[in-house]
Amino acid sequence: MVVLNKKAFKLPFMDREKFLLLMRLGLNYDRATGTFSVANYNNIGKLTDTLAVILSVDEVTFTQTCCICGKDFPCSECRYLKLCATKNLPFQCVCVECLREGRTFTNSG
């Protein structure tokens, strides 16, 4: 499984058709940095499948943002990964540290 940072990630060189397909599926490309980011979440399933083919891996997921501390973290750290029915979306979750330390939404200090 490959975990990509949804805000900026790089991909190997690809042909025009694949690039256009990724754009159609909701990716954004920043010419200045040469990085991709997720702009549209409506085709997230197809998007991860296409990325898995391009990267030649079995599965692609994106990093999650902790809605308490704001940190980006990969799902692979999560002990509930097997029980999780929504691996791709939404992109917000609670990180291991916040959960362990009992930080809550209103008491994030």
Partner 1 sequence: MREDLLWVEKYRPKRIMDIVGNEEAKTAFVNWFKNAHRTKKAVLLYGPPGVGKTTLVNAAANEFSFRVIEMNASDTRSEKAITRVAGPAVAFAALDTFSTESKGNVLFMDEVDGIAGNEDRGGVSTILRIIEDSRVPVIMAANDPDIEKLRPLKKVSALIRFYQVRIPMIISLLQEICHREGIKAEFEALERIAENSRGDVRSAINDLQSLGETTKTLTLQDTVALSARNRDVSMDETLRRFFSVKSLQDASMLLSYSNVDYDDLLMSIGDNLPLRFTNPEDLAAAYNFVSRADMYRGRIGVENWHLLRYFFNSLAEAAAVSPESYQPFTLISPPIRVITLFWTKGKRTALDSICAKIGQRCHVSRATAKTDFLPFIKILLARNKADDVVSWLELLPEEAEFISKMNRL
d(CA 1, CA 58): 6
Phi-psi region of 3 (alpha: psi -120 to 50; beta: other; left: phi over 0): beta
Sequential DSSP letters for 41-81: -TTHHHHHHHHHHHHT-S-EEE-EEETTT--EE-GGG-TTT
Token pair for 19: 């690039």
Task: Work out whether 86 is an interface residue with partner 1 (CB under 8 A).
Answer: yes
Task: Work out whether 76 is an interface residue with partner 1 (CB under 8 A).
Answer: no
The least distance separating partner 1 from the CB of residue 51, rounded to whole angstroms, comes to 18
The least distance separating partner 1 from the CB of residue 74, rounded to whole angstroms, comes to 14
Task: Work out whether 57 is an interface residue with partner 1 (CB under 8 A).
Answer: no
Task: Work out whether 25 is an interface residue with partner 1 (CB under 8 A).
Answer: no
Task: Work out whether 94 is an interface residue with partner 1 (CB under 8 A).
Answer: yes
Applying CB under 8 A, which residues contact partner 1?
Answer: 41, 67-68, 78, 80, 83-86, 89-95, 98-99, 102-107
